[in-house]
Copies of this chain bind each other. A is one copy, B any other.
Amino acid sequence: MTAPNRATLWGRTLVDELAAGGLEAVCLAPGSRSTPLTVAFAEHPEIETYSHLDERSAAFFALGRARRTGEPTALVCTSGTAAANFHPAVIEASQARVPLLVLTADRPPELRDSGANQTVDQVKLYGDAVRWYVELPVPKPDERALRSLRTTAARALARTSGIPAGPVHLNCPFRKPLEPTRVPDAVPEGLEDTLAGRGRDGPFVRVSTGETTSTEDSRTPERIARALEDAARPLIVAGPADPPVRKLATSAVVDLATAVGAPIFADPLSTLRFGSHLETPDEDEPVVYGGYDTYVEAVPDPDAVIRFGASPTSKPLRHALRDADCRQFLVDPAGEWREATFTASDLVVSEPTSLFEAVSSELETETARARVDDAWLETLAAAEAHHWAVSTSGRADLESAPFEGAILATVFEAAPDPSTVFVSNSMPIRDANRFGEPRDADLTVLANRGASGIDGIVSTALGAGSATDDPLVLVTGDLALYHDSNGLLALKRCGVDATIVLLDNDGGGIFHKLPIESFDPPFTEQFRTPHGLEFDPLGELYGFDVRHVAPDKFEDAYRESFATSGTQLLSVSFDAEASHRRREVLEGRVLEAVRDLE
């Protein structure tokens, strides 16, 4: 059926090509100028639509979904400041390599800079934070224009999943009528049919994705293999994973580590800290380590390092790597530099999986194992054991000595298998890093570590939760919960259930970790910023249960939440300063034990 007018034709064609290219979901914020896009998305049978009222939350929701699935999610808004509300999530998507297709409706070019209502300069609105920016022409009903539109749509979608993945921005000007109102002779008969899929099932332009591997003549795998064979204390550092989180073949890392005799220091956001590769752990010689944040400064430095993924969450680990005077291979498929201490000696541009397989096949295993310093491995294994023993003991007296880390320990220990666990920035991710014990369970652990903001946390988590039937856990502080409280509307509107763990220390607890703590004023008023908010009314507003739980009762309430339908917010109150002091005490105990090993 011929489209009733040009805007409708344009919107339909664009959306049809995106759907044919595999786009599965879109977040829509209401608006007038975006009507042709909204109508086309809403009527498309194969694309799931999520309606959001706050564009900032919409964008983070789309980000969360794309982060969890690794597949592009589209995002639509009207013209004006609406588009600027997408900016924080676009930056996070850019830094964290999340495929996001941003479609902003716009007024036609002749209305720009003329005082026309809701008309702002949207050209390159997100600057260099997008992989590709395209200024679409105003809808034009001829074949070449539609071929161009379909080609752009296919390329844009593919580009979101390129190397590296990230956001793409299509700015889409429309003239009225925007609604599917019939305009006689606006669209030639049959124009659409000649183009759709070129008569075959599928997109007009099919883009086959590529992958970065080390070139055959570079001898890179060989050089890495030799370096590992020569090393006495070889270390593999798995940083936060890039979406799709499951792209990396865990086995390739574990096999290499086992062949070399190298421990893996696994970030909670890597795919190595949790998973079935931990099914039969060897406590005397574990392959995957998670407790290094407390003890890495007290054990001997590695003498060869392979790093992949983003920069590790653990600051002590980053500092230890900075101080280790050795060869360090930084593996990244996009060839970006992902460590800010500038200590790496070799940048290897390759997907880790294929590279590690190639290194393994080059490796003389016996030579490598023979060189490994067993005493070092024993120290590491003992330190790791001490760390978890102390962490566990620290949870024995929560009534008298509550601290936030104990909650994170429980969150990971008792999370359902499988589940998605989204962890907010600031203190929660640091405690997840320190207290999330490696576990044989299919936990997809996510955080917004691209730019590490505390904005959009709720929405990103709910977006991630919307993508699967896995139970969803969100761990957040009170500031992040406040910051994106609007995101809670998606619980009902988008049909997501979650277990929300709120670590409520009434303000910015993380500032107690910083030297500013000793300058008050302005510490309390401008940094710690106690707000006194009681979040119970949010439950009433957005329709979920709020339960106040004492730290020592948290585990029961947490487990119970998974047996309960709907969303529960488990609010656990803490004194941020006391939590910090408790962390220091436990860290001291681990360090003492580790120093005694020597």
A95 at the interface (CB under 8 A from B): yes
Interface centre among A28, A49, A451, A514 (most CB of B within 10 A): A451
Report A128-145 CB contacts with B as 1/0, cut-off 8 Å.
110000000000000000
Neighbouring B residues of A468 by C-beta, 8 Å = none
Interface centre among A129, A449, A525 (most CB of B within 10 A): A525
Report A57-96 CB contacts with B as 1/0, cut-off 8 Å.
0000000000000000000000011101101101110110
A54 at the interface (CB under 8 A from B): yes
- A523-555 interface with B by 8 A CB criterion: 525-529, 531, 533-538, 540-541
Checking B82, B115, B336, B528 against A453 with a beta-carbon cut-off of 8 angstroms, the contacting residue is: B82
Assembled-state Cα–Cα distance A314/B479 (Å): 41
Min CB gap A468→B, angstroms? 24
A499 at the interface (CB under 8 A from B): no
Report A106-128 CB contacts with B as 1/0, cut-off 8 Å.
00000101111111110011011
A55 at the interface (CB under 8 A from B): yes
A42 at the interface (CB under 8 A from B): yes
A483 at the interface (CB under 8 A from B): yes
Neighbouring B residues of A92 by C-beta, 8 Å = 81
Neighbouring B residues of A536 by C-beta, 8 Å = 540
A180 at the interface (CB under 8 A from B): yes
> Given the known A-B contacts A42-B521, A81-B453, A88-B81, are A179 and B115 also in contact in the complex, defined by CB atoms under 8 Å?
no
Contact A81 B85 (CB under 8 A): no
> Given the known A-B contacts A81-B92, A84-B91, A533-B541, are A311 and B115 also in contact in the complex, defined by CB atoms under 8 Å?
yes
Neighbouring B residues of A340 by C-beta, 8 Å = 111, 114-117, 119
Contact A30 B526 (CB under 8 A): yes
Contact A56 B56 (CB under 8 A): yes
Neighbouring B residues of A114 by C-beta, 8 Å = 337-340, 342
Checking B121, B518, B531 against A127 with a beta-carbon cut-off of 8 angstroms, the contacting residue is: B121
A590 at the interface (CB under 8 A from B): no
Min CB gap A58→B, angstroms? 11
Assembled-state Cα–Cα distance A387/B451 (Å): 55
Contact A179 B515 (CB under 8 A): yes
Assembled-state Cα–Cα distance A32/B533 (Å): 22
CB-CB nearest in chain B for A337: B114
Q: Interface size (A, Cβ < 8 Å)?
A: 90
Neighbouring B residues of A339 by C-beta, 8 Å = 114-115
Min CB gap A60→B, angstroms? 10
Contact B482 A522 (CB under 8 A): no
CB-CB nearest in chain B for A125: B127
* Stretch from A185-193, A485-493, A558-566 that touches the partner: A485-493
A452 at the interface (CB under 8 A from B): yes
Min CB gap A102→B, angstroms? 13
Checking B35, B81, B489, B541 against A451 with a beta-carbon cut-off of 8 angstroms, the contacting residue is: B81
Contact B537 A541 (CB under 8 A): yes
Contact A535 B526 (CB under 8 A): no
Neighbouring B residues of A455 by C-beta, 8 Å = 54-55, 81-82, 85
Contact A121 B115 (CB under 8 A): no
A38 at the interface (CB under 8 A from B): yes
Neighbouring B residues of A531 by C-beta, 8 Å = 53, 489, 493
Checking B84, B119, B489 against A88 with a beta-carbon cut-off of 8 angstroms, the contacting residue is: B84
Checking B118, B121, B514, B528 against A179 with a beta-carbon cut-off of 8 angstroms, the contacting residue is: B514
> Given the known A-B contacts A82-B453, A541-B538, are A178 and B516 also in contact in the complex, defined by CB atoms under 8 Å?
yes
Min CB gap A98→B, angstroms? 13
A39 at the interface (CB under 8 A from B): yes
Contact B42 A525 (CB under 8 A): yes
Assembled-state Cα–Cα distance A42/B516 (Å): 13
Report A586-598 CB contacts with B as 1/0, cut-off 8 Å.
0000000000000
Checking B87, B116, B514, B522 against A311 with a beta-carbon cut-off of 8 angstroms, the contacting residue is: B116
Assembled-state Cα–Cα distance A87/B30 (Å): 20
Contact B522 A117 (CB under 8 A): no
Checking B181, B311, B533 against A515 with a beta-carbon cut-off of 8 angstroms, the contacting residue is: B181
> Given the known A-B contacts A127-B121, A340-B115, are A30 and B80 also in contact in the complex, defined by CB atoms under 8 Å?
no
A366 at the interface (CB under 8 A from B): no
Contact A28 B87 (CB under 8 A): no
Q: 29 A-B pairs, CB-CB below 8 angstroms?
A: A30-B528, A30-B529, A38-B527, A39-B516, A39-B519, A53-B529, A80-B452, A81-B87, A81-B91, A81-B455, A81-B456, A85-B88, A113-B337, A115-B336, A115-B338, A116-B311, A117-B452, A118-B451, A119-B340, A120-B451, A121-B128, A121-B129, A181-B515, A482-B486, A483-B486, A533-B541, A537-B541, A540-B540, A541-B541
Residues of A near any B CB (own CB < 8 A): 28, 30, 32, 35, 38-39, 42-43, 49, 51, 53-56, 80-82, 84-85, 87-88, 90-92, 94-95, 111, 113-121, 124-125, 127-129, 177-181, 310-311, 336-340, 342, 449, 451-453, 455-456, 479, 482-483, 485-486, 489, 493, 508, 511, 514-516, 518-519, 521-522, 525-529, 531, 533-538, 540-541
Nearest first, the 9 closest Cβ-Cβ pairs linking A and B are A537-B537, A116-B340, A115-B338, A81-B453, A42-B522, A81-B88, A84-B87, A115-B311, A537-B541
